[in-house]
Amino acid sequence: MHKPDVTMTKLHAACIVGQLAEAQRMLADIRLFEGEAAVEHAVSSADRMGCTAFHCAAKCGSVELLRWLHAACGADALAATQSGGETALHLAAEQ
């Protein structure tokens, strides 16, 4: 029986289907109510496979979402690797 990935956040889910407006709303709410450190944590949080929001956006091929995440959160999050060693840039290049 397949177990759901409980480590995937709502931000991951929005990014995996390319929902830019939803991702923007989520991060705006986090920034407003929890502060900048919480935004950085939300973007850099990885699921059980090591995928961050950047990886999810790259997998769906959403260049607009990737650009927005980069502008909103900086280049450090782009350097994160998933369990196979791929960065979001690797995944985007495969699309």
How do residues 14-61 score in pLDDT, each as one tens digit? 999 999 999 999 999 999 999 988 988 888 888 888 888 888 888 888
Q: Do the Cβ atoms of 90 and 59 come closer than 8 Å?
A: no
Tokens coding 17: 């289907």
Instruction: Give pLDDT, residue 89.
Output: 61
Query: Where is pLDDT greater, at 1 or 72?
Result: 72
How would DSSP label each residue in 38-82? HHHHHHH---TT---HHHHHHHHT-HHHHHHHHHHH-SGGGG---
pLDDT greater than 70 at residue 92 = no
Counting beta carbons within 10 angstroms of the beta carbon of residue 69, is it exposed (0 to 12), middle (13 to 18) or buried (19 or more)?
buried
Instruction: Give pLDDT, residue 80.
Output: 60
Instruction: Give pLDDT, residue 95.
Output: 61
How do residues 64-88 score in pLDDT, each as one tens digit? 998 898 887 766 666 666 666 766 6
